[in-house]
Structure 1
Amino acid sequence: MNYIGGKNMHRILIVDDEKDERNVIRFLLNKFNFELDITEAANGKEAISQLRNQSVDILFTDVKMPFIDGIQLAAKARIINPDIQIIFFSGHDDFDFIKKALSLRAVDYILKPVKPQEFQDTILSVIQNIKTLENEKVQKKANTSFLKTHILYRLINKTPLDILKNEYPFIDFDFLNEYYRLILIQFEEPFFDTLSKEEDTLFFYEQIKKIIPSTCDFIDLNPFQILILLKNDANYLEPPMQIASKIQTKIYSEYGIQCYMSVSKELSTSSEIPIIYEKLEEYLEDRFFYSETYIYPIDTSITQETEWLEHDEHLLHAIQEAIQYVDTFSLKQNINILFQKYYQKKEFSHIYVRYLFSRLLQLLCQVLKEYDEKTVNEKMSAIYSCKYFSEIENILLTIQEKVIKKLEKKEQSPKHVIHIVQQYITEHYGEDLSLNILAEKAYLSPRYLSEVFIQETGCGLNKYIKNFRMEKAKKLLHNTNMKINDICKEVGYQNFSYFCRSFRENFGTSPEKFRQMHGEKKKENY
């Protein structure tokens, strides 16, 4: 199935060595308003090539053709796509051909000349078959997901792995090996009782997923506990204790509820999962002694506290913003603060310090386009190989100097001004974005800003803002269950009717129909 014109469409491949015959079929498909992506092939060889290179849902093929006849083509098509819907049409009422067609699970065998009503009924039947198959696949996937969650739940509750494998022989238990670390969230009161709707629960999990840099699964163990199972991502760098701290802060800021988090060591085998879970609960027993501590286990050999780590994140964010806004003064100032913070601080983990400054390296190297991936990796390896902190400082100061020179050249360019305006729009698209406000942010007159923006982007400022807001609205309609009226306000529109009209102008359909076409967001099995 392909994606065309804003909706999912099924593709039909018409195969006949007579162009007139193909035109008749195309005409009938259009006559009956079948929403299908129509492709054609003049012979079997050409058809096989198309079948291999693109997804085809319906094969409508003549029986007698040169090179490869319809029966041979259908057999190969069935191998390429076992679920393909096959319709034969022929000028001969040949019983042998009909028998072969049935053996290939053909949907129908239509005689030429094609009768419009018979043709319409056949295509309707085929489309219904496709939808039924798709629904069955979705249901099977949902059932499998539910069973995997159930298996994890029982494993955590100490059901032996061998027993589970015997009970569910049709499940591939390799999925357990994807997990490499667990994080347990403990609430003092039933958390999900505070969420009024099912949509609120889905939204909660989506917000948590945004914090976690690797893919993960969730299990609601009971009203007081949620288990997060982190998957082994190659790009995973952020310390798990820091992830837990971010989640804890997010939950408190959004819901006003304190929770406690315990983080496991790395898993060696999936059989360790119940043991690790038990250990996570033991860690949380220390809450009795540490009333204001929310992340466990407490490592007394490392003194970084949550506030200290949050300050690091704040500094890195400030450095990133300074680069984006070409603010060389703030860039130098914040990098200097970061260096001073860790200079001669022996009590801190060397691994964390190297990790922190390797992130700074990555931020700086984004400016240096001449630094390819290999060069950046070499610099990161150098940081991890340094014997002394001063060596790390020297590496980064050298790179900082190159970055400053690059940014100083950009400071006066029109592209820099446009970038500042675009960045402000990205961060404040839900607010008032008048020309006067944007001009003030760029330290330009409104008229000059308007002219420069068109000159540099080829697009008027108002049109750019409208397109940006519309794209945000489209994503919210597709990925969330927010009310359309709330989305209207979220993307900066106060007048609901004007918002709907603007959306229709951009995408050719109303927000309500757009959401219907893409389907309501389904609840995931956690």
Structure 2
Amino acid sequence: MLNLSSAHYENRKLENHVENRTVHTLKNAELNIFETHLQASQVYLRFPQPVLASMIKGKKVMHLDGSPSFGFLPGESVILPSNEKMVIDFPEASVHNPTQCLALALSEEKLQEAVDLLNNRGTKQNGLEWSVMDYNYHFTNDVAINQILQRLIFIFTENHPSKDIFSDLLIQELVIRILQTETKSMYRKKSLTDANNDRISYIIKFIRENLTEDLSIDILSEKAYMSESNFYRTFKHELGSSPNDFIIEERLKVAESLLRNPRMSVKEAYLASGFNSFSYFCRIFKKKKNLSPTEFKEKSNIFG
């Protein structure tokens, strides 16, 4: 999860208890930190630029035009277009447990630069060019996105003469990773409803249906009717992860789901999720979840 830097607390002023705003401005972006210390509802917010909003602490309920309302929790983000009206509820905020959220306002120019960089490295497998992500895209931050946001909090709040350069590079990476995360999400959905429409969706469906089998690159590329090198390059370019990393993600999802079942043992979850080494399973699970499979299971059974 994200944490605010000590520099933020040293320089911010609490002028009100609902959506108290601290602003850090650089050449091509603006970092807004919002803190709410009282329960509130129907709070309006709008930015003139596209915004990445990411929860740090507490809970919000977001009401956006044209989208169903949703709970907004730590570790989650949403992309909003310029001038999007947000209506926000704060059901749990208190003086001792404030709700905290960041809003990273980005220039249209910087968004387009990241898109152009992706297109210079290759279009999508269907020949379409990359474009600015769909707005109102709500997602859970992966480890890489979380690390970039944490680094940006530090850069915006530090006193360094080159922080404009540092932030530009990080924002470019952030936008590319979000685009690839969005594309991965799209392919996952298509694999459930329209898997035969494109090769990547078909391969994702094949992976999900055969997680306990050997899923080597040569098998997957043959199923996709592509050369191994072209398949690997296309998959990684569009989804932001290698086929092997994606397979591990899917196996971990299965293991996590099974471990939530109080009748399922850790060993049974390991065998059913397709890992071929118990020690590797335990090691990769702890790396991704910050808990061992046993610890995760115990915690899930207590709070689930």
TM-score interval for Structure 1 and Structure 2 normalised by the shorter chain: 0.3 to 0.5
Write 1 or 2 for the structure with the bigger share of strand.
2
What TM-score comes out, normalization by structure 2 length?
0.39
Write 1 or 2 for the structure with the bigger share of helix.
1
Bigger Rg, structure 1 or 2: 1
What TM-score comes out, normalization by structure 1 length?
0.23
